[in-house]
Amino acid sequence: MGKVFVCDHPLIQHKLTYIRDKNTKTKDFRELVDEVSSLMAYEITRNVALEQVEVETPVTKTTCHIVSGSNKLGLIPILRAGLGMVDGMLKLMPTAEVGHIGLYRDPQTLQPVEYYVKLPTDPTQRELIVIDPMLATGGSAIAAIDLLKKRQCTRIKLMCLIAAPEGVAAVQKAHPDIDIYVAAVDEYLNDHGYIVPGLGDAGDRLYGTN
């Protein structure tokens, strides 16, 4: 079974509190999501492979480590709210390629339907991080991961700001091999599909719409 990593660093929890606050305005909301995404990127890359390199300091030659060139990363935001977390992550992993997955929910079947897919080059050779701030029912995340697996991608992680227990359970059932990184697992999903206590609609709060 994939693990759920709750990124409980005090700075993440502090910023998440202001993200949740309904009085936080769009500009601050966006900046806070960006900052938390950078901090979460730090956690999610904890086990990235390193390789040795020789460098010459002003004092002497020495052997140090850099992130291995063979460890290529791909960030896959689910449109549109996932976009709000990309820049924060790119600050720490500037060479990662960014793909995009657009999904909408069919009003009849309630199933997610792809309307846009553009993946990084060589996606099967990369570690892919699917990004969506809110893991609610899990439908979009499951569909995005399905889509990547159908294209033979195997190294996939899911990163969200806030998850509902229902969403975590759904992803774990559909994709038991996937690790999930979140800043918080909240109480439940309400009848309108909102995570409680949550933060409201992540896309609307990021982009000032409603």
User: Is 17 a known active-site residue?
Assistant: no
The verdict on 198 binding ligand URA (CB under 6 A) reads yes
User: Is 201 a known active-site residue?
Assistant: yes
The verdict on 128 binding ligand URA (CB under 6 A) reads no
Instruction: Let me know: does 89 contact 99? Beta carbons within 8 Å.
Output: no
The verdict on 166 binding ligand URA (CB under 6 A) reads no
Contact with ligand URA (CB under 6 A) among 44, 130, 134, 143: 134
Residue 126: name the closest of 94, 88, 90, 97 by CA: 97
User: Is 105 a known active-site residue?
Assistant: yes
Instruction: Let me know: does 129 contact 73? Beta carbons within 8 Å.
Output: yes
Q: Between residue 58 and residue 87, which ones bind ligand URA under the rule CB under 6 A?
A: 81
Structure tokens at 66: 């850099």
The verdict on 195 binding ligand URA (CB under 6 A) reads yes
User: What is the CB-side half-sphere exposure of residue 186 using CA atoms within 13 A?
Assistant: 24
**Separation of first and last alpha carbons in the chain:** 37
With H, G, I as helix, E, B as strand and everything else as coil, classify residue 145: helix
**List of residues contacting ligand URA (CB under 6 A):** 81, 134, 136, 193-195, 198, 201-203
Binding residues for 5-phospho-alpha-D-ribose 1-diphosphate: 80, 105, 132-140, 201
